Structure 1
């Protein structure tokens, strides 16, 4: 016991020091945990060498990691996923799995006879890192963009796929129809029991202890471990039970509260798990490094092969087809989890797990770099693809650029929430201005939605002067920039206003400002009027405060509710 406490202390201190360093250089902390585990493990400084301690640390971390992953799987989002997301996810997951199994079989890895390296690796390379993707997209404020939503939708369905794989994983060595049926029945019993208890029993218990945070935490952990033990009794894995325990609580009335209270403990055990994985990595040989390099190359190529053509066929445009492929081009934390489970079950050899761990580290670094520069990568790639004859939603090919000069009086450059509300407001007022409006944007959802409403729209990137010229900005009387700086790619509103003023010296140009210092800069660039939405919102909030003071809040709410009835926005 003394050795285990000492080992956990060493793991925690090492992880913390290296995680601080990783944050300073902009790398995922998971990389720090893996490197820290390698450094203090048997292949490194040998500060932790007890195989029993390493196994205990890894198993505890794995159980709680899967519990938290389950808590974050929103079944309602899976049910509500749109056709584009579902088709893209199925193509990516199934395509990468099949290609992966074929690729690893070609490399000589076994599949069958008690050895399932090619199958586990095929599944592992189909999964992408939720932690890395969400963090980078959040920092870039791209979670709510179309490529961001597609990426997150694929991640959610990947989680569902893993649950299905874990259901059959214990029976891989005896894959007969009756065995599979029994396995499915066991999973059904586990899932049904968990859902029924979380639906009818846990709400009552948690309601009674809701005011005692420590009991909420202990109750959540007790549920996780109890479900894990139930899975063990059903000849499934404790990890599967922990995952189902989390999923069963994801729609629980107290799910947010439980997740908030378990998060700190989750972070601790996640740290232990990845440090534990790092400790199991031996010093890589040349063969292992070559194997890891092959995995890295396969993951990048397979994302491009399965994601880009699928979204392109679904008419999402070149840009929205390529960005999710870049976003998804890494391995998931779950990939390491699967290989760990496979090794524990005797299904996978150590070389596969070691190579996967090294690939995870390499892809995490490469993916973080690529996602940070995805806009430049996509612009360059689109130019090459068009020279090769590819057509975008604007119908343009290398020598056939679409001249969409609408001659519209009013042009909306970019289309986000403000522009969506403006169009809806003009529709509600039945304004004659609506006939004079044209939009330029590269979001395929916007292009389709506006076309269905009979509003002129040109598909294109407003940061490119050629797009502005072909869209007809030289003939417009009013040019409205509608996208805030933090969402613009390759340009700022100040630079855009300067371009517009050069192209059309006489038009009235309206532009948004986020900071007070931006207002003067936009006027100097040539804007005729600058909108500062924070001021309008502040005035509205003052009116709400006055309504509260006069006990008129309900009437204000009724007015708002009435104004929203029947309102159909392109970006709802």
Structure 2
């Protein structure tokens, strides 16, 4: 191996380490780090890489492995199973972007083929950038993010037919149109060959190879299929990238696709980084400096244009105005597949040197600011709501159907978000007879649950009118189960403003979000990250000879230490559970007085609970009324909920006093008492 070549690879890796660390600290996608590496090491930067051709070879392999893994991950079946909203939104977004950009580019003097091709480039969005941003925010599973990711995946798939169309665009108006049509026909024939191979040939071949149980043989066979198919399509006059994608589709339909994917991913990650480094090396920093203002203007204009088109494209999916804006902003940047498509455009003369520099600068710029653009969604939504919007668009923020006329308006639970957690809360409330009302942003979920009789309606809970429709002003508890941290903060603040007395229980995924939720008015913040750690700790200790009481006390102490620190920072009042932890020999319990219980109809003085059982009644809940700090003359009635502090911890069994007489006699028999002891 040439020592110079090894030196250049070492320079790229060393610079990438620093760039990746910087981007990680700034919460930017890793792709930006590779672009930055190429800019620094390239001929327009420090000039550390003297032979760009060697890097180009590695970059070409990166394109091949990237398209190959995309083909394996998507598969033909997955294309047919895409949801209607994603499919419709993706097709609309791609078509509108190409059309609008082509018209604007033509107005600025570009020829129609070049204008259409530029629209094809801008129609792409970076799935990698979106995943990185939303994974950090913990919002990958939310409906608007799933919709945006689905559209982005469809854009990635559209790269294949676009690559087939590039030769036709390059041949427009010349004698080259006939060869282009021939190449397009060859591409269609290859798709037929892919289908046949996926169904019959490749599964049998991989079965034979896998039966030999040689990991090396299997890996070499998979890579040979990838490179061989790419070479065949290249010989047929088509691109290497198209062949790699088709090879991935072929393998995806076999039962060995997962094993093949795991074998190729390390190669993909390494070589793909070289591809983005090579694209960074192409960026002329001098050209950017000379045209900085127009390029910055283009970056802002393209983000706004793509955001508007993206928001319009998801209108048929029936999403709210907030989710329309979030989806539009999420797909506002230009994606990595646009760089792959640009290589074909350069080859066929659709992307000249100056236009290529503009495209590179704008693409890197949109990717760099993508995290900040996505984070601005709540502020942009608030600003858009102040505009004179059409009535049908404003109605997307309101309820599709108002709450039932007999819905609860006082003392109930308001559940914001009806995912798995919201359903569990509703089930528990229903089984205990507690009234509740749910708000959900997914219209399909609302429609299905209303058919089952659930008190649920469609609406965006960051609007006061929606919360008012759920009766937040009279609610006793508001449970916020949505995983979007920014939205949870907004709903918490609005609910606290509308009802200062209600208890607000909020879910969050990360501890770093807890303090802000407490500050905004949440009474309890359930952190998934911390609760998972506590549960794991408990299950680990159970495997050892540690008494369960010690485990419970350790876990409870860990919880109170962590949550108390947050509450103190937000000046929140400790909960009953926290008070219990500071009383060494006491336990707090809530007991219902049953009809016919020995204690029913007696005053607290007559029950003599404190002297006989070392038990103090802190409060009595009677219907909608709470009797705090009851005195000796307070009468205990059937149906009361008594909040007790038992300082004796076993000195006396008091539960029979609260049950009906027949149960009390059975429970207080000598045999039962000895068993309890």
Please report the TM-score for the alignment, with normalisation by the length of structure 2: 0.67
Equivalent residue, structure 1, for 2:71: 70
Unaligned runs of 5+ in 2: 544-677
Query: CA, structure 1 residues 223+192, in 2 after alignment: closer, same or farther (shift >3 Å)?
Result: same
Moved more, 276-285 or 189-198: 189-198
Q: C-alpha displacement at 1:345, in angstroms? A: 3.3
| 1:536 Cα offset (Å) | 13
SS in 1 for 2:414: strand
Select 2:342's aligned residue among 339, 342, 352. Answer: 339
Q: CA deviation at 1:413?
A: 2.9
Comparing 491-500 and 264-273, the one that deviates more:
491-500
Aligned pair 1:229/2:231, yes or no? yes
Alignment of 1:117-516 (within 5 A): 117-174=114-171, 182-210=182-210, 211-282=213-284, 283-284=286-287, 288-289=291-292, 292-312=295-315, 314-384=317-387, 390-393=393-396, 395=398, 406-408=407-409, 409-420=412-423, 437-462=436-461, 467-476=466-475, 479=477, 481=479, 483=481, 489-491=487-489, 502-504=500-502
Contact 1:12 1:271 (C-alpha < 8 Å) held by counterparts: no
- CA shift for structure 1 position 295: 3.9
Matches within 5 A, 1:508-527: none
Q: Which residue number corresponds to residue 559 of structure 1? A: none
Q: Distance in 1 between matches of 2:339 and 2:511?
A: 48
Per the alignment, residue 399 of structure 1 pairs with: none
Alignment partner of 1:22 is 2:23: yes
Distance change (3 Å), C-alpha of 1:28 and 1:501 = same
Distance 1:249 1:189 in 2: 18
Question: Counterpart of 2:111?
Answer: 110
The answer for the alignment partner of 1:49 in structure 2 is 50
If you compute each CA radius of gyration, which structure gives the higher value, 1 or 2? 2
Residues 488 and 506 of structure 2 are in contact (CA less than 8 Å); yes or no, is this contact kept in structure 1? no
- Contact 1:295–1:359 (Cα < 8 Å) also in 2: yes
CA gap 1:280/1:149 in 2 versus in 1, 3 angstroms: same
Output one character per residue of 1:254-283: Cα deviation in whole Å (capped at 9) or x when no partner. Answer: 222222222221111111111111222223
Aligned residue pairs, count:
524
- Distance in 2 (CA, whole Å) between partners of 1:516 and 1:110 is 54
Q: Counterpart of 1:40?
A: 41
In 2, the alpha carbon distance for the partners of 1:279 and 1:394 equals 46
Larger RCO: Structure 1 or Structure 2 (Cα < 8 Å, ≥ 6 residues apart)? 1
Q: 1:98 to 1:13 in 2, by over 3 A?
A: same
Structure 1 residues 465 and 16 mapped into 2: Cα distance closer, same or farther (>3 Å)?
A: same
Post-superposition offset of 1:418: 2.3
Q: Cα distance 1:201–1:149, how it changes in 2: closer, same or farther (>3 A)? A: same
What is the CA-CA distance between 1:472 and the residue it aligns to?
Answer: 1.2
Q: Offset of 1:57 from its aligned partner? A: 3.4
| Deviation at residue 403 of structure 1 after TM alignment | 9.6
Q: Following the alignment from structure 2 to structure 1, what is the Cα–Cα distance between the partners of residues 91 and 205? A: 39
For residue 314 of structure 2, give the secondary structure of its aligned residue in structure 1: helix
Question: Residue 266 of structure 1: SS of its match in structure 2?
Answer: helix
* Contact 1:41–1:280 (CA under 8 A) maintained in structure 2: yes
Q: After superposition, what is the alpha-carbon deviation per residue over 1:333-353, rounded to whole angstroms, capped at 9, x for unaligned?
A: 111111122213333211122
Return the alpha-carbon distance in structure 2 between the equivalents of residues 187 and 515 of structure 1.
48
Q: Provide, for residues 57-80 of structure 1, a one-character-per-residue CA deviation record: whole Å limited to 9, x for no partner.
A: 332332223223323334433322
- Given that 1:303 and 1:325 are in contact with CA atoms closer than 8 Å, whether structure 2 keeps it comes out as yes
Residues 124-175 of structure 1: CA distance to partner in whole angstroms, max 9, x if unpaired? 1011001100111122222221101111111121122211111222343445
* Distance change (3 Å), C-alpha of 1:63 and 1:150: same
Match in the other structure for 1:565: none
Do the aligned residues in 1 keep the contact of 2:62 with 2:273 (CA within 8 Å)? yes
The change in CA–CA distance for 1:509 and 1:368 in structure 2 (over 3 A counts) is: closer
Contact 1:481–1:511 (Cα < 8 Å) also in 2: yes
Q: Distance in 2 between matches of 1:238 and 1:127?
A: 20
Once the two structures are TM-superposed, the CA of residue 194 in structure 1 deviates from its matched residue by 3.2
CA 1:453–1:304 in structure 2 vs 1: closer, same or farther (change >3 Å)?
A: farther
TM-score by length of 1: 0.78
RMSD: 4.1
The 1:216–1:289 alpha-carbon spacing in structure 2 relative to 1, beyond 3 Å, is farther
The structural deviation recorded for 1:470 is 4.1
CA distance in 1, matches of 2:522, 2:10: 58
Displacement of 1:50 = 2.8
Residue aligned with 1:235, SS = coil
Distance 2:304 2:361 in 1: 18
In the other structure, the counterpart of 2:14 is 13
**What CA distance in whole angstroms lies between the structure 1 residues aligned with 2:253 and 2:12?**
34
